[in-house]
Every structure is written in C-alpha cells, then in structure tokens.
Amino acid sequence: MHRYFVYDVFTETRFGGNQLAVFPEAESIPEAELQSIAAEFNFSEVTFVYPPENRDHTARLRIFTPTMEVPFAGHPTIGSAKALAELGHGPEMVLELGIGPLPCTAGPHGARFTTSAPLERLANPDPALVARALGLAVDQIDQSAHAPTLASVGLPFTLTALKTRADLAACQTDMAAFRDGAKAHPEGLDFAQFAYIREGDTIHARMFAPLDNIPEDPATGSACAALAAFLCDLDGAPLSVTVHQGEDMGRSSLIHLTANGERVTVAGQAVRVMEGSLL
C-alpha cells in the first residue's frame, strides 16, 4: 500500500482552492502506474515525491495531470511543500522539478516558491481563435496593453486580458477551437487558456485546459507565475498582485505574486483534507 494525502491548495479553508494528491514516498510505486493513478484521481495534478538526486536538496517531485507528466506546476509545488513541512521538513527546502531545483519555504502560514526560469514568449495566437476558444466575441478581449500571448516560465499558457469581470464570467469553452489552437501552436501543448482582468493590484482569472481533461482549473500557480513575469516585463517595473481564481466554479482561491526581473515568487496556503492508501 502507498499512502497519500489530499490537499486543497491556495485556500485557507477546506473545499476551496485546487485539489492535489501527494504521494510522499513514491519510490516503491511502479513507473507504469503513475499516469493511471493521476487519471484515477482526476485532479488537475498529482505529485509523486522521491528522494532528491542532490543530497543537499529536500526531495524530487514528479507532477502528473490526468493525461501527461509536466515539468512544473504551481499548486502541486505549493501543496507538496506544505505536505513535506507537515512531515518534518523545512521550513526552508529545495525541491527538484523538471525545470530544475526550486527554493521553497513552507510552514503553518502557507508556502511559497521562487522561480528564476526565463520568460518565454512563444507566440501570439490569433485573437479570433482565442475568443472562439473562450466562447467570447473578439471585442471582449482587451488588447490595449497586449494581444493574447502564449508565454511560459516552465509551462505554457495563452495569457489574455479581458475587458470586464462580466466578460470573464461569461467564458465557455469551445473544444473544436482548443483542438485548432493545439494544432496551430504545438509549443503550447494543450492550448491552455488563462484569461484575466486586472484592477490595480488585484487580478481575477480563469484557466481552461479541456484537452488535458481539465475543463476549468480553480487555481493555476504556473499560469500565475507566467503572468507575473509577463506583466513585470511589460510594465518594466516590479510587480505585487493577488490573483482571485476559482470563484466562477465555487472553489475560491487566493494566489499571491511578486516579480522583479526574472524572479517570480508564488505564495499561498494549503490545507489537508483527506489521507488514505493506494492498494
């Protein structure tokens, strides 16, 4: 049997935020079963924790969505750091991910990680295609500061500003458009869409990745990290914002972001909801 914990991440209360299953002793799980286990949970991600390759580090993480392994994701990093802290590690730790070692801090008041992965601007998808994927009209996209941009600091997302909170609430995914987008932009993997509105230091956002069996994600730390790096670069100034995500699906999340140059810090709380054993 293999024990696991389930956390709600980027929330201070149970049944909010983004669900995550953490297997803290994954080295005895057969490699061939990892993807099937992630699909069985059907959360946005499941993390498998291994001993570190570098003895000076805390642990090595492998992160799986329902359909693939990914090199980096935000809420799995926060949730796994919180789980490791509750198992006696930290508060300072270094986690090995597919994008390299990531310094983290975790304790009773939450967790945070800092990435220095360079911002990659991969493409500018056609606004009409993005609008179709989101079930919106093109004139609901706010292109005054930037056009829809496929960007990454480890995992790619199309970052799209919308004009109003009502426009954000109106998003409804079009699977055919997502398939067209993934075909047109294979560098974007599943053409995941991160739509947002910005009101000063507050951002409201939604993320959709239906081709990865994630109709909507209640909290997406990797997309938030990409957005923070992108906005910091766009503004040419340090950034400090709070992202509200998951509200339109009844799983409110709070994600705190700071960015300065190529350094982005993502912070939030996580609470353990369940634990059990995989037979």
Cα–Cα distance measured from residue 129 to residue 150, given in angstroms and rounded to the nearest whole number:
13
**Beta pairing, strands 18-23 & 45-50:** parallel
**Beta pairing, strands 202-209 & 214-217:** antiparallel
Among residues 25, 33, 45, 275, the one annotated as catalytic is: 45
Instruction: Annotate 209-269 with DSSP letters as a single string.
Output: EGGGTEEEES--HHHHHHHHHHHHHHHTS-EEEEEEESGGGT--EEEEEEEETTEEEEEE-
What is the Cα gyration radius of the chain? 18
Determine whether 120 is an active site residue.
no
The pair of three-digit structure tokens given for residue 218, joined into one six-digit string = 């209640």
Q: Which residues pair with 47 in a beta bridge?
A: 22, 63
Catalytic residues: 45
